[in-house]
Structure 1
Amino acid sequence: MNMKRMFLSAVCAATFATAGFAGEAVTYPFDGSFDDATFGVESAIVDRGFVIDYVSHVGEMLNRTGADVGSDKEIFAAADTFLFCSAVLSRKVMEADPMNIAHCPYGIFVTDQGGDVSIGYRTLPEGAMQEVQTLLDEIAREAAGQ
């Protein structure tokens, strides 16, 4: 993605008061339950013809293992990451740079922190991966009702 498009993307994201940037992730608040948000993400991915390869239940793992690592802090009431790939985009970005394999599969996450439900994704590097980031942003926005 060229600098102008990147700048315009950042301006558009900043224009939406509901969009938040947290470190190297983009998140959108979801007005509803965690289950409704996960259904929205799953639908937005599958409706584009992609297959969800795996759902990582990160929140459950953190809650289950907290005591084992000496913590009683609840990070998420619930948190899932949906992993999927696009044969077309993956081939395109890996033909541009085979090391883009490091970013595959792609992930969209849903979190519930004290009743605040969000949908987001990890940002990707400049270059060919920006096309994938655009796809992730479209899916996250659609699922979040943005």
Structure 2
Amino acid sequence: MKRSLLSFALVAGLAVPAAAEDQAVSYPFEGSFEDATFAVESAIVGRGLVIDYVSHVGDMLNRTAADVGSDVELFTQADVFLFCSAQVSRAVMEADPMNIAHCPYGVFVADRGGEVMIGYRTYPDGAMQEVQSLLDDIAMEALE
């Protein structure tokens, strides 16, 4: 019995990192962080969408590292662009009003030691794949 519980615990523990890898899609960006943020902003606004907020996650993490007892630099810079699409949001919330939990949507730009990336979180199967498709289109346009 103990061996079965130990085996289950090991398997369950190994499943967590695999699930964590499926939480986001990211693409390498050939260029500077500033160029990537401009490209993402342009791709969002170019679709007639309004950026509600830009979260400067990298600045916050760097500013508060010592306060939480860390000296690890996770990102040189990192921003998340938050926005909604009235058309897409209505479609996914008409399919399931609880999809409100996923709004607003975000596209991130991050620089980790000179490696710039653009990405977004993944969404569940079903109606939310329309949002994921929109985010992927935005990321692909920004990479061009």
**Preserved CA contact (<8 Å) 2:22 2:122:** no
**Preserved CA contact (<8 Å) 2:49 2:85:** yes
Number of the residue aligned with 1:58: 57
Name which one, 1 or 2, has greater alpha-carbon Rg. 2
Residues 70-89 of structure 1: pairs in structure 2 closer than 5 A: 70-89=69-88
| Matched position secondary structure for 1:126 | coil
Over the residues paired in the alignment, what is the CA RMSD in angstroms?
A: 1.1
Letter in 2 for 1:43: S
Letter in 2 for 1:142: E
Any unmatched runs of 5+ in structure 1?
Answer: 1-20
Number of the residue aligned with 1:144: 143
TM-score by length of 1: 0.84
Question: How high is the sequence identity, in percent, across the aligned residues?
Answer: 74
Number of the residue aligned with 1:67: 66
Higher helix share: 2
Runs of 4+ in structure 1 over 4 Å off = none
Residue 127 (1) aligns with residue 140 (2): no
**Preserved CA contact (<8 Å) 2:77 2:112:** yes
TM-score by length of 2: 0.85
Deviations 1:32-76 (A, max 9, x none): 000000000000000000000000000000000000000011000
| Matched position secondary structure for 2:125 | coil
